[in-house]
Structure 1
């Protein structure tokens, strides 16, 4: 890490806008429950998620937030967590993140997580909602719609969802369902009806390629920013199919419509950066990645993302889910990583200090405020 300077200080003071995150668990967690939420992978006997970059970062950087020494052993960490209780633990990490605005994806596991309002209360922040579209489609199917009526019913349900107070964006997890190696064209009505007939007959989650394409084009029609999971995720993903460069033809067809936010991106942050550089509507973050690589490696990921990304195109997200530690770690890693690389460029006279401070504000807050049309900070 380079010497701390005014860029670090400005980022420390900046109230972040977390443009993509989730709720946290409200009930107590035993060791197995906590470790499950600490990793995107499977748990195996004898292999603890504490022995990963994310687990080491929790013991180093999160332990002091709970009143423990740095590098506290896992057992001591979990005992202290249980002693404080979920409410206090969540409050401490959410406040430590110093995030002023949270854009919360409510479409996964909502029954066991905080609502946006509860999350905002714990963080002392303002929360907005991001509507995940796949559950909307699955709810339409569960109501017993016919194949011929599916397209209209889904569109109506999606419109109802985005008209709820506080909704600022939609999201798709096409990466988990089909990947991005899809025909980019808008499907015809006949194609949608045939695909709906196949999907409704077999049931289950929305993984019919034609209907995933239809969902993406419906998102365009809704007119709100669209978040797309790309790159790193759990074992449900086929990583080679979620390289965002597979979206190239679709991005050409949708130019001039809605902002497209590429989430997470690792290990494809360079491909995402290229898309952001050449397509006006494309933005990116490296959230989720940062708390999994830990603050020690955050700079490396951000530096690759910023090799070619226009400075108005990088946003901050934690993608924190389940455990509030990831709010604290994500914010710390972002502030430290971005501060290190910008301050070093200032020190090398490759970047003016005023420019560096402006770029830090853009990435940490202002870019998200502009894309999502959020009120300016007071």
Structure 2
């Protein structure tokens, strides 16, 4: 199976080549380096924390069908191989060979890897790059840095200083920062920088239970603004999880439009604000990218999990989003299938949208190729200074 076989044949050659060019996966996670039994594989292919109900399987999902359809041939199986056959072949090849085949087949030129997850056994950015034949850089998760600082037991005043020092060190090695404030509080937080007194008072409470998840809205705001200070020194973008995620999330609190106040305060600073995933709020995100010059968007893992339905999501984003504001990410995690399928469905959905516009005479083939290049890699190279 060749990637070019998945692109509509009527698409002009210059546009086809732009769609098929190496992608910049600007937001992903490591995949697991060890072999997985069926139970663990099924949990890794869903955002749910729970196994499927008795008598069912997580393979009975859009993503599960997509794995059997598109990943099976990369493991030398026929398309639509049954789940048991697929997993047996996966085990026969071994985790490293499976990861190598699937990561390389994604056609990614660079991985920007969020290293903030606690699960043991995930590939490092360097390992992702080696197996995928790509460059790799790190995205630093703010909440993990804060937890490590708090766990060291500083005083409240030292906590503030240490946090700034650690984020400055991270900024020197990272391609960007990421916040999961959507999970910890919601995106409707007070956007202003908190006062020093309020931070010290909240830090005293925090340091009494430093290993708990950070949920205090004052300290979350302080963390984000401290990261902004560190990011300004290096011109780093700041990513925010929005929309679709795992069950720890209150979905309504992850609407990216709730960040409007913060986005306005950030505009004079010139730092990019990147809205990740966004679905089902991708139209709101497209609006924000259209009206704020420093806001960028992707639809991330929604493409992988919607699978055959993903072209409609991408088409809705493209209704309004400026082409110089959209990025590509797979948000792959756990199993390398999610990396490959993210790239596959992005290319297929984008190609269909471009072909429709060219067919209707709305765009020239050069316009379509330019949009494909910007979205697939050009924008990420500019935003992350790759």
| Same topology, TM > 0.5 | yes
Match of 2:16 among 3, 9, 14: 9
Paired with 2:108 and 2:155, the residues of 1 have a C-alpha distance of 44
Partner of 1:259: 272
Q: How big is each residue's C-alpha offset from its partner over 1:48-102, in whole Å with a ceiling of 9 and x where there is no partner?
A: 1101111111111111111111111000000000000000000000111010111
Partner of 1:325: 337
Work out whether 1:139 is the aligned partner of 2:148. Answer: yes
**1:118 CA drift (Å):** 0.8
Runs of 5+ unmatched residues, structure 2 = 1-6
**1:13 CA drift (Å):** 3.1
Structure 1 window deviating more from structure 2 (149-158 vs 29-38): it is: 149-158
Partner of 1:63: 72
Partner of 1:372: 384
Paired with 2:111 and 2:10, the residues of 1 have a C-alpha distance of 28
Paired with 1:259 and 1:12, the residues of 2 have a C-alpha distance of 25
Task: Give secondary structure in 2 for the equivalent of 1:27.
Answer: coil
**1:198 CA drift (Å):** 1.7
Match of 1:314 among 298, 323, 326: 326
Work out whether 1:202 is the aligned partner of 2:209. Answer: yes
Match of 1:178 among 185, 210, 216: 185
TM-score if structure 1 supplies the norm length?
0.96
Contact 1:175 1:229 in 2 (8 A): yes
Partner of 1:118: 127
Contact 2:19 2:373 in 1 (8 A): no
Paired with 2:60 and 2:119, the residues of 1 have a C-alpha distance of 28
Partner of 1:336: 348
Q: CA distance change for structure 1 residues 57 and 4 in 2, over 3 Å: closer, same or farther? A: farther
Partner of 1:282: 295
Q: How big is each residue's C-alpha offset from its partner over 1:265-296, in whole Å with a ceiling of 9 and x where there is no partner?
A: 000000101110111110000111111000x2
Partner of 2:239: 227
Structure 1 window deviating more from structure 2 (3-12 vs 62-71): it is: 3-12
Paired with 1:150 and 1:87, the residues of 2 have a C-alpha distance of 41
Partner of 1:154: 163
Paired with 1:87 and 1:302, the residues of 2 have a C-alpha distance of 32
Q: CA distance change for structure 1 residues 336 and 46 in 2, over 3 Å: closer, same or farther? A: same
Runs of 5+ unmatched residues, structure 1 = none
**1:181 CA drift (Å):** 1.7
TM-score if structure 2 supplies the norm length?
0.94
Task: Give secondary structure in 2 for the equivalent of 1:128.
Answer: strand
Paired with 2:20 and 2:349, the residues of 1 have a C-alpha distance of 15
Paired with 1:256 and 1:108, the residues of 2 have a C-alpha distance of 32
Contact 1:244 1:265 in 2 (8 A): yes
Structure 1 window deviating more from structure 2 (84-93 vs 252-261): it is: 252-261
Task: Give secondary structure in 2 for the equivalent of 1:170.
Answer: strand
Paired with 1:6 and 1:145, the residues of 2 have a C-alpha distance of 61
Match of 1:49 among 40, 46, 58: 58
Partner of 2:27: 20
Q: CA RMSD in A?
A: 1.3
**1:148 CA drift (Å):** 2.4
Partner of 1:191: 198
